[in-house]
Chains A and B, each alone.
Chain A
Amino acid sequence: MKPASRIPHASAAATFIEDNERTSWHDASLWHVRKKRDASAHGLPEWEALRQLASDIKDHTLSQLDTYLEEFEQSATANGVQVHWAATAEDHNRIVHQILAQKRIDAIVKSKSMLTEECGLNPYLEARGIEVVDTDLGERIIQLLEQPPSHIVMPAIHLRKEEIGQLFHERLGTEAGSSDPQYLTEAARQHLRAKFLEGTAAVTGVNFAVAETGTVTVCTNEGNADMGVHLAEVQIHCMGIEKVIPRWEDLGVFTRLLARSATGQPITIYTSHHHAPRPGREMHVILVDNGRSEHLGREDFRNALKCIRCGACMNTCPVYRRSGGHSYGSVIPGPIGSILTPGFDLESSHDLPFASTLCGSCSDVCPVKIDIHEQLYKWRQVASEAGYLPLSKRLSMRVGSWLLARGQRLRVGGALARWMMRTLPKSMFYNSLNTWSNSRDLPDAPETSFRAWYKSNRSNA
């Protein structure tokens, strides 16, 4: 699913920030989640060793990905699961549709899956007359609002409870003006329970797929994935090929890291392990490539495939917190989105690696030690070489580079600039053409540079 034409992140962020109070609220909400992660991480003495272990398992897996995918297929098939391979998003959607069409299913429940979001499954099925109900509370809220998720773990984090209260009043018949989360959640519970009890087909994502045993592991707090799957005739689990892990015991590492990184809780309420369909029913797993094998070949960027979709990078990112997920215009926003999306579609996302100060906080919270901020830097070079830097920028870089390649040039150019700043009217430098000056004073322009001072006071020349 590609956004047709995006507003550049800088503009979207500027718009978001105009609402000062809302920005403070959004920033504080996400910072709070970051702090909960910190408390959890600092409470486990072996935290950094665990991160390294997870990183190493993922590195190893990617280096043998074909073998592990084949092993998973073999294990799952032996358990009675039907394993499908989808080269593209379109293939994935077709496969899901045909599984449903074969059983004449016209309504499904779906639990959280960024992969299905990536493939645009919902609109695909709806266009073919299949009702899709997203059952994760946050996902259901944004589904009713016809918005994309703004965060991969907390899809409705950008919404105030009053807005949700208004939505539920209109769509679920709750009391007007009521915004109590308990009351609203109860209403959603009853509404979604009815859908689960219809029990035809359930689609879920996959947190980890174990090659050794064919286990499909799904982690939730609400239990909605299980409510859907265990009451359904057909269960379909959709995953990117990078979600496979080698052994059952590797789950010990990832289940200790995932929830702590995502929300600070020691584990999700439910960690479900699906192996085989219920007697008389069907279980399907769809392995999706959709650009991942290509990304695997990118030496500088393949590490992004280690991602376990915890969202910690979003929670810590000072830019994400103050601009919101929607300002990225990509399926996956935030730091990880800014290094994955350009591999997928550079044309529509070339500005995302620049939506960052390269502060490095993301890399230090990533449970699998993806070098996110280094990849952001490298994508900038790729974007520039592909011709995405505007002409004015390219020219100023050339000029800057010439000027700064010799001490002599810096000396002369710098002295001239300072002279102009001291001599010419202030309005030459404090105007709308000089963006810096909108909210910040320029530094004072001293008469003597350091190099001039050194020459006068220290050098023997």
Chain B
Amino acid sequence: MTVSLFIPCYVDQFFPEVGVATLQVLERLGCTVDFDPRQSCCGQPMANSGAEQAALPVYRNFIDVFAEADYIVCPSGSCVHHIREHYDILGRSAQGDRVRSKTYELCEFIVDILGNPLLEGSLNARVGLHQSCHGLRGLRLASDSERNETPFDKVRTVLRGIKGLTYVELSREDECCGFGGTFAVAQEALSVRMGKDRLADHMANGANVIASADMSCLMHLGGLAKRENLGIEFMHVAQLLTAANPTFNHAGESRQHLDTAV
């Protein structure tokens, strides 16, 4: 099975280790993974600001780049939700519809398409799992606290093979972290307050790692935590998987060695 990676623009530039971990996990699961360098961004930052029309060239680039892909997998619920739900302004086209329907977030891809294999490992961590809103209520990666439905959670399902990983119980299990894209600066006071409240919940309940399937939330919470010297670690779900299993870190590909790779 060939999987085409779509790495969110800010992950590509600022959190490349998340991209590496994602690739490693997919390869471990038997996929042939490619990365087309023509890819850029999903266009969400512009669209959420109201400039959907301005984002059209970005949307078209995505559709063009991935026109031939069998599966497009992305370690971000936020980007995938945007592509699947908001690209309809491009108008219907066989190619566009196809590409959008083949675009998956990492956890849902592992659970729904790859047959939910067990990814074993061990990692002692008290994890506060942050369900990103776009992943949770947008892509329905898990049941949310609002609806009366049979509980399910594709993120925890992907992580179920990691021994030593315990989840802290939060007082508000799925409240928004306050990032919200440009909201983070346009409504700074609210964004910071919401982020600090989330961090306080995780800290009060003993989390030493805050994990998520979305780096945007972690970038925001991480930025706040670093400023306050909270000493808490932030890891993407893919990183939890690779950290839990030393065989992932073959020569030249570990997180520590990333910057010296040629």
Give me the interface of A with B, judged by CB distance under 8 Å: 9-10, 13-14, 17-18, 23, 27, 31, 38, 41-42, 44-45, 47-48, 316, 318-319, 322-323, 354-361, 363-365, 373-374, 377, 380-381, 383-385, 389, 393-394, 397-398, 400-402, 404-411, 414, 417-418, 435-436, 438-459
Contacts and interface: CB of A to CB of B under 8 A. Distances in A.
A38 B50 contact: no
B137 A357 contact: no
A241 to B, nearest CB: 30
A405 B41 CA distance: 7
A408 B9 CA distance: 12
Nearest to B5: A454
Contacts of B149: 48
Interface in B38-76: 38-41, 43, 45-55, 57-58, 60-61, 65
A406 B38 contact: yes
Contact of B148 (A48, A354, A459): A48
A31 B172 contact: yes
Given A45-B148, A397-B46, A454-B23, 18 more contacts: A10-B187, A13-B187, A357-B176, A360-B138, A361-B144, A363-B137, A377-B47, A377-B48, A381-B47, A384-B49, A410-B12, A441-B227, A443-B222, A450-B12, A451-B37, A452-B16, A457-B252, A458-B35
B259 A361 contact: no
A261 to B, nearest CB: 11
Nearest to B176: A359
B211 to A, nearest CB: 17
A394 B51 contact: yes
B183 interface: yes
B188 interface: yes
A405 B42 CA distance: 9
Given A359-B176, A380-B48, A405 B190 contact: no
A357 to B, nearest CB: 3
A359 B133 contact: yes
A48 B148 CA distance: 6
B252 to A, nearest CB: 6
Contact of B12 (A48, A397, A451): A451
Contact of B13 (A405, A440, A449): A449
Given A13-B187, A440-B220, A457-B252, A404 B258 contact: no
9 contacts: A14-B188, A319-B190, A357-B180, A381-B47, A404-B41, A407-B39, A410-B12, A451-B12, A458-B35
Contacts of A408: 37-38
A10 B138 CA distance: 25
B13 A435 contact: no
Given A405-B58, A451-B35, A318 B147 contact: no
Given A13-B189, A383-B50, A364 B9 contact: no
Interface string B153-193: 00000000000000000001001101111011111111111
Nearest to A400: B46
A359 B174 CA distance: 10
Nearest to A42: B148
A457 B48 contact: no
Contacts of A418: 13-14
Given A364-B137, A414-B13, A417-B13, A404 B190 contact: no
Nearest to B36: A407
Contact of B261 (A355, A374, A383, A456): A456
Contacts, number: 240
B190 A17 contact: yes
A396 to B, nearest CB: 9
Nearest to A438: B188
B137 A442 contact: no
5 closest A-B pairs by CB = A357-B180, A384-B50, A440-B223, A450-B19, A360-B137
B51 A389 contact: yes
A18 B192 CA distance: 12
Nearest to A316: B146
Contacts of B224: 439-440
A407 B37 contact: yes
A322 B79 CA distance: 27
B241 interface: no
Contacts of B144: 361, 364
B146 A458 contact: no
B41 A359 contact: no
A458 B222 CA distance: 29
Contact of A389 (B15, B50, B137, B185): B50
Contacts of B16: 446, 448-450, 452-453
A334 to B, nearest CB: 14
B145 interface: yes
A10 B38 CA distance: 37
A418 B16 CA distance: 12
Contact of B35 (A18, A41, A445, A454): A454
Contacts of A449: 12-13, 16
Contact of A407 (B43, B54, B65): B65
Contacts of B183: 354, 356-357
A358 B46 CA distance: 14
Contacts of B220: 440
Contact of A405 (B50, B57, B181, B223): B57
B55 A401 contact: yes
